[in-house]
């Protein structure tokens, strides 16, 4: 493998590191609720959230710790989703009305790189290695944060992946070489989490 894979072993530790944990409001029995609780202050009386909702929170929070050279004319913060209608719809519902870097979030479904437009983040869900390699190898600009949810995504050169363990826990893993060679300024807090 071309790069060193770095991963988070403990979601709670990541939440503490980012300073986002609201003490006493995390339901530890259900990790996905823990993840959302860490990232958005969900109370322990709330029902369990779906995996897609948990991933949406991860995407939203990760973007808070990355700096792009934003153009003054950009009215929205575009997150593109590659070839997954269901995940694009879920992400749209989860992020509706929210802002990143002072811009309203807009989710856009794309089928090819030419549709990427002014997206700052592209999410490549799924584990179809050929599809991932083809898309990541098609010349994504280095100032676009690439996020996925499989080992195949990292092996193909994706930046950060949200991996689900056998126990149902989501952890972050990163491809260090791709991140370091990108045109993105990544917060030292996020880099510390990705390096553990």
Tell me which residue of 48, 49, 43, 45 sits closest to 24, measured CA to CA.
43
* Digit-coded pLDDT (tens) for 78-123: 999 999 999 999 999 999 999 999 999 999 999 999 999 999 999 9
Encoded tokens for 171: 């952890």
* Digit-coded pLDDT (tens) for 49-88: 788 999 999 999 999 999 987 656 678 999 999 999 999 9
Phi and psi, residue 133, nearest 5°: -60, -45
* Digit-coded pLDDT (tens) for 152-166: 999 999 999 999 888
Mean pLDDT across the stretch 16-30? 29
Is the confidence at residue 43, as pLDDT, over 70? no
Please tell me the pTM assigned to this model: 0.75
Q: How far apart are the first and last CA of the chain?
A: 19
pLDDT, position 39: 43
Q: 90: part of which helix (H) or strand (E)?
A: helix 85-95
All domains in the chain, ordered by first residue: 5-194 (3.40.50)
> Is 115 in a helix, a strand, or coil?
helix
C-beta of residue 170 within 8 angstroms of C-beta of residue 11? yes
Interatomic CA distance for residues 128 and 123, integer angstroms: 14
Phi and psi, residue 160, nearest 5°: -135, 135
pLDDT, position 196: 64
């Amino acid at each position: 493998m071309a790069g060193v894979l770095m991963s988070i072993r403990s979601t709670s530790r990541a939440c503490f590191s980012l300073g986002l944990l609201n003490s006493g409001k995390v339901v530890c029995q259900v990790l996905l609720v823990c993840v959302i609780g860490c990232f958005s202050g969900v109370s322990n009386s709330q029902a369990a959230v779906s995996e897609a909702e948990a991933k949406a929170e991860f995407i939203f929070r990760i973007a808070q710790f990355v700096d792009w050279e934003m153009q003054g004319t950009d009215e929205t913060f575009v997150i593109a989703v590659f070839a997954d209608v269901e995940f694009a719809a879920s992400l749209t519902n989860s992020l509706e009305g929210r802002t990143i870097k002072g811009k309203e979030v807009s989710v856009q479904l794309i089928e090819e790189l030419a549709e990427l437009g002014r997206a700052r983040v592209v999410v490549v869900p799924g584990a179809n290695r050929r599809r991932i390699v083809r898309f990541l190898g098609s010349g994504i600009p280095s100032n676009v944060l690439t996020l996925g949810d499989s080992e195949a995504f990292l092996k193909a050169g994706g930046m950060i992946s949200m991996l689900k363990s056998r126990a149902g826990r989501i952890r972050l893993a990163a491809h260090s070489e791709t991140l370091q060679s990108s045109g993105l300024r990544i917060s030292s807090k996020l880099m510390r989490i990705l390096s553990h």
